[in-house]
Amino acid sequence: MRVAVCVKQIPDPASPYDLDPETHFVVRPTDQVLDDTDRYGVEIGLQLAEQTEGTVTLISMGPSGNLQGIRQALAMGADKAVIVDDASLQGSDSLATAGVLAAAIKREGFDLVIAGTESTDGYAGILPQQLAELLEVPALTFAKKVAVEGDTVKIERQTQTGYDEVESPSPALVSVTAGAVEPRYPTFKGIMQAKSKPVDTVTAGDLGVDVATKQKIVSIRPAPERASGELIEDDGEAHLKIVALLEQAKVI
């Protein structure tokens, strides 16, 4: 089974990221990390590829920088990566991004596409569905468990009240929730191998895709601040303060 896993390099969430005051786009440093939520998709992709003697190709869009984030996913065991790095795509909306990723995935060929449910930095949360529509495949979304039996893809799909068992024939797209599996840690061997795995850097033109972003940020402003409250150190009696506040709020 040929598995394409969509991954994204993002600024390290541990350090606050900046927005360009002119364009309002996220300023992307050279050393970006693999979006943590993508590790789950990579892990599932690797498991399914191992089970079916298949391959895992990483598909990404954005400034490649030093490829640190992509190498993280290659070190986990993915076979190769395709990254669409094109200055004209900066600030793309999710539909434009989906158009580019769809072109890259079609060029590679696929039986299964895996994506996270949303990125940590942009979090629009609709790219997988847009991608599925453009690839003309079913979208098995919000999966907390994924299995492949022959040509059938089966998932447990998160719902508001529990989960549904959902299945479809391949090719298909699966979006996976964080926590769906325990992502493996790269081994030393994996990290060494990742350095020489193929990373194909392409432009939108190479893919023959022409997309346009149809939304524009008009302002960025601070949210109204919440009135600051009381901060105390627990002296053994802090619970009484809570009781008093619960009484004041008339909930007890």
Partner 1 sequence: MATTWVFVEETEEGPATVGLELLTKARAFGGELAALYLGAGSDEHFAALGAHGASKVFHMAPSDLLPTASAAAAIADLAGQHSPDLILFGLTYTDRDIAGRLSARMGKTILSNATEISVDGGAVTVTNEIFGGMTLVDTTFESDAPYLVIARAKAFVAEESGGGAPEVESVAMPDVGHSGSARVTASHAERLEGPKLEEAAIVVAAGRGIGAEEGFAVINELAMKLGAATGATRAIVDAGWVPYSKQVGQTGKTVKPDVYIAAGVSGAMQHLVGMKDSKVIIAIYKDEEAPILGISDLGIVGDLHKVLPKLIEALSNR
- If the CB atoms of residues 79 and 121 are measured against partner 1, the closer one turns out to be 121
Among 53, 150, 165, 196, binds partner 1 (CB under 8 A): 165
Give the separation between CA 187 and CA 67, rounded to whole angstroms: 18
Structure tokens at 131: 């991608």
The CB density around residue 52, as the number of other CB atoms within 10 Å, is 15
- If the CB atoms of residues 189 and 239 are measured against partner 1, the closer one turns out to be 239
Q: Does 87 contact partner 1 by CB under 8 A?
A: no
Listed in sequence order, the residues at least 6 apart from 66 whose beta carbon sits closer than 8 Å to its beta carbon are 30, 31
Task: Map the footprint of partner 1 across residues 102-161, applying CB under 8 A.
Answer: 117-118, 120, 123-134, 136-142, 144, 157-161
Give the separation between CA 247 and CA 105, rounded to whole angstroms: 58
**Are the C-beta atoms of residues 163 and 143 closer than 8 Å to each other?**
no
Give the separation between CA 156 and CA 162, rounded to whole angstroms: 10
Task: Kindly state the smallest distance separating residue 232's Cβ from partner 1, in Å.
Answer: 6
Task: Kindly state the smallest distance separating residue 2's Cβ from partner 1, in Å.
Answer: 17
Task: Kindly state the smallest distance separating residue 178's Cβ from partner 1, in Å.
Answer: 5
- If the CB atoms of residues 87 and 220 are measured against partner 1, the closer one turns out to be 220
Find where tokens 């986990």 sit: 76
Among 35, 43, 93, 111, binds partner 1 (CB under 8 A): 93
- If the CB atoms of residues 55 and 141 are measured against partner 1, the closer one turns out to be 141
Residue span binding partner 1 (CB under 8 A) among the ranges 2-10, 69-77, 177-185, 195-203? 177-185
Number of residues that bind partner 1 (CB under 8 A): 79
**Rg of the chain in Å (alpha carbons):** 21
Task: Map the footprint of partner 1 across residues 26-85, applying CB under 8 A.
Answer: none
Structure tokens at 79: 């076979």
- If the CB atoms of residues 109 and 179 are measured against partner 1, the closer one turns out to be 179
Helix (H) or strand (E) run with residue 248 in it: helix 238-248
Q: Does 90 contact partner 1 by CB under 8 A?
A: no
Give the separation between CA 223 and CA 144, rounded to whole angstroms: 34
Listed in sequence order, the residues at least 6 apart from 24 whose beta carbon sits closer than 8 Å to its beta carbon are 91, 217, 220
Task: Kindly state the smallest distance separating residue 29's Cβ from partner 1, in Å.
Answer: 17
Among 52, 90, 168, 203, binds partner 1 (CB under 8 A): 168
